[in-house]
């Protein structure tokens, strides 16, 4: 049997000292990664498992030494990963009993943020996020009840997939609130996380909450509607507030139309998780152990779990009815939107701040995550920006149950549009990957105006992706056209202006398979970007737009009516 570096003294270790914060990410790391297959879709990849997920041969502690036990078998999710060729590197630290969103509630030490060790990593899947962000493994398993698979992703510049409930089996996972628990996935790219989801999803008769789910296969493409809460609270954090405004703009550029939604029922549903009889499920999850060993549980976890004792069955039914009513109210937003956009976490806190006010600040971190599982939604957290203070900001895309592949597709397009590095590694993002389960026949209409036109130097970027020319058209008369200086090969810039002040510009409309669209967008250099263009016939397509600042001093060539005419004029001058 492969032995861990630490298990011999695992249960007797004292809490980790401040100088050892980075080491607190691992509960136990294997000398030699454990594998059962050399083949499979995940062959050669390494992963870590949050230490409330069973892996045979390694103790499961759930962050509580007195609770620890030695599982005889792997959890279903670990078994499926090993069978797919992945290698288990070890177990990671967590907020005790997966109760917390900050990563400081463990006797094995507070897990630091991967970018600044003074700040929290987010929890409860703190260790899993840290080892992914720092490049120690290719991906990691977490769990998510109230946001534990998303908040650490947002605070560490990585991807966190929170699948639809029951899509990944939770058999062999220590429950937090079993009816809403989900196994989650951390990776540095959406493509990697989607591969892991494909390998782990599927019904499991041994899990009472496992479900056979039919996932949507039609991507939202280049014309989608995204909900934005009418009121957002960033707790005085102007940097996060500015980063969220930037995120709204980026989704617009990807073809999204923002729609203001009422966040009130979502916020009220989120509050029920800890402020109603629903918290009794946390107590029920470890009732036998807790009643016998309450003093072995750290605060504030002990107080939260103990509060579940005080509710009656009638209280629980009342809370469930209230949740059902809020769910109906919240459902009114879905006919008007495809996806909901929220900050993954509204702010960052230092470890010292969190330890001084552990309940209120933890609640703040979950403001935009707590409602998701309660209302049976799917979600993905993706990196969005690096703030001026060097800390990451992430967004979460939330969709109805079964929208997992659609969320991954849009999440990947968004992530690659940011140009951010992978986690804290400094490595550039690889090319986008096809999202499993999507309808590969789906296409995106893309209008090109310059070097991508037929016969022009960059047209191959379209044809090599299977794009086909479907129409020659003109824009609506709302654009100005500029020859951008210093571009190689020479490129134009299309700038939208006020109606009546622009010109119609000749374009070609190409139809591109949706699975290749992300890689095409990733090639677009600043100051150019992809946005929504209005054509002369009133229809909308994706197309190249230019930042206004880049047109300052550039030659206005709008009167030529298109790039070909301008290029021809240059040739006549030679």
Residue 454: half-sphere exposure toward Cβ, Cα within 13 Å: 11
Give residue 390's pLDDT band: very low, low, confident or very high (50, 70, 90): very high
How far is residue 133's CA from residue 158's CA, in Å, rounded to a whole number?
A: 6
Does residue 173 carry a pLDDT above 80? yes
Give residue 290's pLDDT band: very low, low, confident or very high (50, 70, 90): very high
Q: Chain-wide mean pLDDT for the chain?
A: 92
pLDDT tens for each residue of 256-288: 999 999 999 999 999 999 999 999 999 999 999
CA 38 to each of CA 34, 48, 539: distance values in angstroms, whole numbers, following the listed order: 11, 18, 51
Beta strands in 223-373 (DSSP E): 224-229, 256-261, 339-343
pLDDT tens for each residue of 237-255: 999 999 999 999 999 999 9
Q: Name the region of 467 (left: φ>0; alpha: ψ -120 to 50; beta: rest).
A: beta
Residue 488: half-sphere exposure toward Cβ, Cα within 13 Å: 1
As a whole-number percent, the residues of the chain with pLDDT over 90 amount to 82
Q: For the chain, what's the residue count?
A: 574
For residue 87, report the phi and psi dihedrals to the nearest 5 degrees: -115, 125
Residues 6+ apart with CB under 8 A from 332: none
pTM: 0.79
* pLDDT value at residue 11: 38
pLDDT tens for each residue of 108-146: 999 999 999 999 999 999 999 999 999 999 999 999 999
Enzyme catalytic residues = 50, 124, 148
Q: Which domains does the chain have, with CATH numbers?
A: 46-418 (3.90.1300.10), 443-573 (3.10.490.10)
How far is residue 130's CA from residue 128's CA, in Å, rounded to a whole number?
A: 6
Q: Are 372 and 184 in contact, with CB atoms under 8 Å apart? A: no
Relative orientation angle of helices 238-253 and 404-418, to the nearest 10 degrees: 110
């Amino acid at each position: 049997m492969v032995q861990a570096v630490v298990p011999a003294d695992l249960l007797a270790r004292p809490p980790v000292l401040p100088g050892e914060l980075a080491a607190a990410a691992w509960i136990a790391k294997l000398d030699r990664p454990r594998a059962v297959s050399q083949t499979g879709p995940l062959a050669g990849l390494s992963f870590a498992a949050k230490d409330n997920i069973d892996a045979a041969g390694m103790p499961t502690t759930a962050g509580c030494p007195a609770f620890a036990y030695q599982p005889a078998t792997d959890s279903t999710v670990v078994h499926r990963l090993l069978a797919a060729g992945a290698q288990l590197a070890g177990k990671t630290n967590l907020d005790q009993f997966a109760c917390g969103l900050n990563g400081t509630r463990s006797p094995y030490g507070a897990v630091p943020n991967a970018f600044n060790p003074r700040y929290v990593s987010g929890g409860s899947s703190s260790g899993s996020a840290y080892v992914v962000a720092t490049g120690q493994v290719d991906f990691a398993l977490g769990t998510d009840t109230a946001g534990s698979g998303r908040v650490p992703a947002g605070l560490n510049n990585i991807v966190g997939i929170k699948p639809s409930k029951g899509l990944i089996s939770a058999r062999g996972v220590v429950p937090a609130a079993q009816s809403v628990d989900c196994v989650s996935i951390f990776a540095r790219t959406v493509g990697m996380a989607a591969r892991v989801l494909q390998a782990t999803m599927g019904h499991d008769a041994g899990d009472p909450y496992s479900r056979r789910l039919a996932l949507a296969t039609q991507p939202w493409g280049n014309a989608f509607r995204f909900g934005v809460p009418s009121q957002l609270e960033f707790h005085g954090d102007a940097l996060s507030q500015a980063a969220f405004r930037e995120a709204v703009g980026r989704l617009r550029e990807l073809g999204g139309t923002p729609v203001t939604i009422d966040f009130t029922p979502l916020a009220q549903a989120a509050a029920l998780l800890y402020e109603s009889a629903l918290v009794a499920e946390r107590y029920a999850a470890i009732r036998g152990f807790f009643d016998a060993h309450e003093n072995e549980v750290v605060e504030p976890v002990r107080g939260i779990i103990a509060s579940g004792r005080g509710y009656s069955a009638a209280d629980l039914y009342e809370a469930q009815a209230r949740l059902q009513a809020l769910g109906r109210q919240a459902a009114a937003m879905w006919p008007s939107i495809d996806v909901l956009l929220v900050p993954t976490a509204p702010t960052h806190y230092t470890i010292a701040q969190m330890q001084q006010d552990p309940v209120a600040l933890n609640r703040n971190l979950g403001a935009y995550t707590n409602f998701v599982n309660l209302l049976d939604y799917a979600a993905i957290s993706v990196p969005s920006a690096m703030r001026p203070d060097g800390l990451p900001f992430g967004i979460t895309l939330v969709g109805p149950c079964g929208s997992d592949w659609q969320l991954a597709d849009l999440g990947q397009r968004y992530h690659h549009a940011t140009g951010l590095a992978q986690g804290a590694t400094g490595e550039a993002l690889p090319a986008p990957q096809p999202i499993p389960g999507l309808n590969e026949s789906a296409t995106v209409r893309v209008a090109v105006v310059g070097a991508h036109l037929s016969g022009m130097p960059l047209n191959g970027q379209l044809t090599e992706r299977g794009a086909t020319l479907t129409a020659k058209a003109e824009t609506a008369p709302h654009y100005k056209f500029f020859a951008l200086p210093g571009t190689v090969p020479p490129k134009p810039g299309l700038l939208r202006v006020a109606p009546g002040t622009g010109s119609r510009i000749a374009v070609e409309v190409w139809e591109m398979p949706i699975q290749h669209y992300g890689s095409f967008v990733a090639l677009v250099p600043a100051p150019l970007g992809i946005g929504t263009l209005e054509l002369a016939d009133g229809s909308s397509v994706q197309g190249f737009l230019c930042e206004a600042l880049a047109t300052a001093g550039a030659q206005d060539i709008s009167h030529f009516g298109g790039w070909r005419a301008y290029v021809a004029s240059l040739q006549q001058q030679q």
